[in-house]
Amino acid sequence: MKDDIIYLVLLAACIGFGQFYRKFSDPEQKKLVGTAVGLLVVLSVSGFHMLHMLFCYLVSALLIIYASPRICHLACFGFMFGYLFFFRSLAFLGYDTPPGHTNMIQMILTLKLVGLAFEVNNAATKSKDVEEKRKKAANGDQPPVPTLHEVDRALLKLDMLDIFHYSFNYVGVLTGPYITFKTYRDAIYLPFSGKADCIGATVEKLKVIPLYAGLFLLVSYIWPLQYAMENEFYEERSFIYRLMYVWPTFFIFRMRIYTGILLSECVCTMAGVGAYPTVFVNKPGHGPSKEDYTALVDSESSLEYDFEAVRNIDVINTERCWTFREAMKYWNMCVQYWMAMYVYKRFPSKKYRTLVTLAVSAIWHGVYAGYYFCICGAPFYLPIEDLYVKLFIKDATGQRRMVLNVLCWISKFFAFSYLGIAFLLLTVDKIWYYYSSVYFIGYVLWIALYGVGVMIAKQRKANAKREERLLQEAMKKD
């Protein structure tokens, strides 16, 4: 609870500071103030462990600036994830374990610096394409081509100070959300933060936080996770009680995550970071979808603004959507954007993309076995869900569709909860002890369901072929 209190105090301070931060109109002042506050946050949480972040910044910045743009993203990826593994292994090497929130700062810094290297790689690729098209246009082979986007030109001219400001700006430095360099730069140089309703957007998010925090405290008091590690839980409680205990523990986890992520979003909204006109079709993590969005910067027309670029979670849709696959899309959306853009789409083998992406996500979360049991378990549940959705739900209508959707919803949260208990128990011995106490029923049930689903699918396919053959024979007789 001490770590949580420190976390809440720092986030509250950062939210309040946003009202002051937005008033800076000079970009250079805004950079300096934002970075100074960010360094103060990092120092207050990490102490001398802050040296880890400074070292990572230094090495990654050198790779981004001086390595070839064709390989800088791969070199930065290897270094940052390698150092992240080393950082979390310090206790095994006999050194002091960094504080918990220092780990979160290191996690976000990893995404930022690796993401920046990928942005530089993308900008270099675009620059090369534009130059080739320009040469063809000069020879009359093609119509004139547009010039390189301003942000891409900035990415190709980065210096050490630019990367330092981006790495340690107080917005998102503690727990995210992940913000691209483009979004950071727009918040510094474009006037959208002065036009958007930053206070209104922040208040809307703050309204629901007491509910999630209250539910977290209440359910934690009634069903504490620690109880699932005590002898009484295994020796005196029934099989049904132990199995159903995953539901409140995952509920507690969700309420805690909802509270933290929404507070992190409030830091962004109060600072005006991620504010864009809605006509730009903004997406979480990515920002504006339209390439020419800077053309509207000086527009005098009344525009509506949103903060979709820094929206990291959609609580309502996470809770009410029917399927596991759909719920994943609404959870930690800015990090998912990072994983999709820089791992999933970049991995050469389509067959293993999903598994590799989830493995990278598990590595990013930590070195504990529980992260791998949980996150890498998702690819084995998803085919089962997809199979039953295709067999029974896809073509269902009316009341039957509603009943099947509700059953799918229950299955979704059971899967999240059953896999999530491993995420919370962390170590192999605790995970194995719990799963063996419920006879691995989740995995057994999923294997059985998959087997039955495959047989039903094959039977339906055989029936369809038989009916088609009978129809063809009947047509021949006629």
* Catalytic residue ranges: 332, 365
**What does the alpha-carbon distance between residue 70 and residue 73 come to, in Å, rounded to a whole number?**
7
DSSP assignment of 74-103 equals HHHHHHHHHHHHHHHTTGGGTSPPPPHHHH
What is the distance between the alpha carbons of residues 307 and 264, in angstroms, rounded to a whole number? 13
Phi, psi for 194 (deg, rounded to 5):
-80, -15
What is the rounded distance in angstroms from the CA atom of residue 156 to the CA atom of residue 117? 11
What three-state secondary structure class fits 305?
A: strand
Given CA atoms 448, 451, 455, 456 in this order, what sign does their dihedral have? positive
- Give the amino acid at 313: I
Q: Scan for tokens 């896999």, then name that residue.
A: 419
Position of tokens 């359910």? 219
d(CA 318, CA 88): 30
| 102, HSE (Cβ side, Cα atoms, 13 Å) | 19
User: Quick count: other Cβ atoms within 10 Å of Cβ 460?
Assistant: 11
SS3 71: coil
User: How many residues are listed for the chain in this entry?
Assistant: 478
Q: How far apart are CA 399 and CA 393, in angstroms?
A: 11
CA dihedral 362, 367, 371, 376 (to 10 degrees): 50
Q: From CA 401, how far away is CA 404, in angstroms rounded?
A: 5
